[in-house]
Amino acid sequence: MAPTRMTHPADDGRGEHFRVRIEGFGVGTWDLDLQTRELDWSDTARRLFGLQPDQAVSYDLFLSLLEPGDRDHLLKAIGRTSEGGGGLDLSFKIGGASGNGQWIRARAGVIRDDAGTPRHLSGIFLDINEEKQLEEALRSQENHLRSILETVPDAMIVIDSRGIMQLFSSAAERLFGYSRQEAIGRNVSILMPEPDQSRHDSYLARYLRTNDAHIIGIGRIVTGKRRDGTTFPMHLSVGKTQRAGEPYFTGFVRDLTEHQQTQARLQELQSELVHVSRLTAMGEMASALAHELNQPLAAISNYMKGSRRLLAGSTDPNMPKVESALDRAAEQALRAGQIIRRLRDFVSRGESEKRVESLSKLIEEAGALGLAGAREQNVQLRFSLDPDADLVLADRVQIQQVLVNLFRNALEAMAQSQRRELVVANTRVADGMIEVEVSDTGIGFREDIIPNLFQTFFTTKDTGMGVGLSISRSIIEAHGGRMWAESNAAGGATFRFTLPATDES
Judged on CB neighbours under 10 Å (0-12, 13-18, 19+), 394 is: buried
How many Cβ atoms are within 10 Å of 229's Cβ, its own excluded? 8
The percentage of residues in the chain with a pLDDT greater than 70, rounded to a whole number, is 78
Give the residue from 425, 409, 415, 406 showing the smallest Cα distance to 379: 415
Is residue 487's pLDDT more than 80? yes
CB 172 within 8 A of CB 183: yes
pLDDT of 136 reads: 84
Segment 49-62 mean pLDDT: 86
Segment 113-127 mean pLDDT: 87
- Tens of pLDDT, residues 365-424: 888 777 877 777 888 888 888 888 999 999 888 888 889 889 888 888 888 888 889 999
Q: How confident is the model at residue 462 (pLDDT cuts 50, 70, 90)?
A: very low
CB 115 within 8 A of CB 216: no
pLDDT of 267 reads: 65
Residue scoring higher pLDDT (494 or 6): 494
- For residues 358 and 475, give the distance between their C-alpha atoms in angstroms, rounded to a whole number: 18
The reply to whether omega before 195 is within 30° of 0 (cis) is: yes
- For residues 272 and 365, give the distance between their C-alpha atoms in angstroms, rounded to a whole number: 12
Query: What residues are paired with 187 via a beta bridge?
Result: 164
Query: What residues are paired with 126 via a beta bridge?
Result: 105
Helix (H, G, I), strand (E, B) or coil at 37: coil
Q: How confident is the model at residue 342 (pLDDT cuts 50, 70, 90)?
A: low
Q: How confident is the model at residue 8 (pLDDT cuts 50, 70, 90)?
A: very low
Residue 67 dihedral angles phi and psi, to the nearest 5°: -70, 150
- For residues 10 and 152, give the distance between their C-alpha atoms in angstroms, rounded to a whole number: 66
* Of 170-179, 201-210, 299-308, highest mean pLDDT: 170-179
Poorest-confidence range of 9-23, 256-270, 449-463? Answer: 9-23
Alpha carbon dihedral 368, 373, 375, 376, in 10-degree steps, equals 160
- For residues 316 and 306, give the distance between their C-alpha atoms in angstroms, rounded to a whole number: 18
Stretch (H or E) spanning 474 = helix 468-478
Poorest-confidence range of 18-27, 145-154, 188-197, 397-406? Answer: 18-27
Judged on CB neighbours under 10 Å (0-12, 13-18, 19+), 280 is: buried
Handedness of CA 120, 121, 123, 125 (dihedral sign): negative
Segment 350-372 mean pLDDT: 80
- Tens of pLDDT, residues 140-172: 887 887 777 677 778 889 999 899 999 898 889
The percentage of residues in the chain with a pLDDT greater than 90, rounded to a whole number, is 14
pLDDT of 433 reads: 93
Q: Quick one: three-class SS letters along 403-461?
A: HHHHHHHHHHHCCCCCCCEEEEEEEEECCCEEEEEEECCCCCCCCCCHHHCCCCCCCCC
Q: Which amino acid is at 457?
A: F
Give the residue from 353, 357, 351, 352 showing the smallest Cα distance to 502: 357
Poorest-confidence range of 206-210, 217-221, 405-409? Answer: 217-221
pLDDT of 373 reads: 72
What is the chain's mean pLDDT, rounded? 79
- For residues 388 and 396, give the distance between their C-alpha atoms in angstroms, rounded to a whole number: 19
pLDDT of 379 reads: 86
The reply to whether omega before 247 is within 30° of 0 (cis) is: no
- For residues 109 and 115, give the distance between their C-alpha atoms in angstroms, rounded to a whole number: 17
- For residues 319 and 312, give the distance between their C-alpha atoms in angstroms, rounded to a whole number: 8
- For residues 35 and 32, give the distance between their C-alpha atoms in angstroms, rounded to a whole number: 9
Q: How confident is the model at residue 16 (pLDDT cuts 50, 70, 90)?
A: low
Measured in residues, the chain has a length of: 505
- For residues 334 and 323, give the distance between their C-alpha atoms in angstroms, rounded to a whole number: 17
Segment 358-364 mean pLDDT: 89
CB 20 within 8 A of CB 5: no
Could you tell me the maximum CA-CA distance found in the chain, to the nearest angstrom?
A: 166
- For residues 483 and 503, give the distance between their C-alpha atoms in angstroms, rounded to a whole number: 22
User: CA dist 117 to 8, 35, 47, Å?
Assistant: 15, 11, 32
Segment 180-204 mean pLDDT: 87
Is residue 273's pLDDT more than 60? no
Residue 498 dihedral angles phi and psi, to the nearest 5°: -120, 150
Q: How confident is the model at residue 269 (pLDDT cuts 50, 70, 90)?
A: low
CA atoms within 13 A on the CB side of 260: 10
Residue scoring higher pLDDT (373 or 2): 373
Query: What residues are paired with 31 via a beta bridge?
Result: 40, 122
Residues whose CB falls within 8 Å of the CB of residue 326, separated by 6 or more in sequence, listed in order: 304, 305, 307, 308, 311
Helix (H, G, I), strand (E, B) or coil at 310: helix
Q: Phi-psi category of 8—alpha, beta or left, where left has phi over 0 and alpha has psi -120 to 50?
A: beta
CB 186 within 8 A of CB 205: no
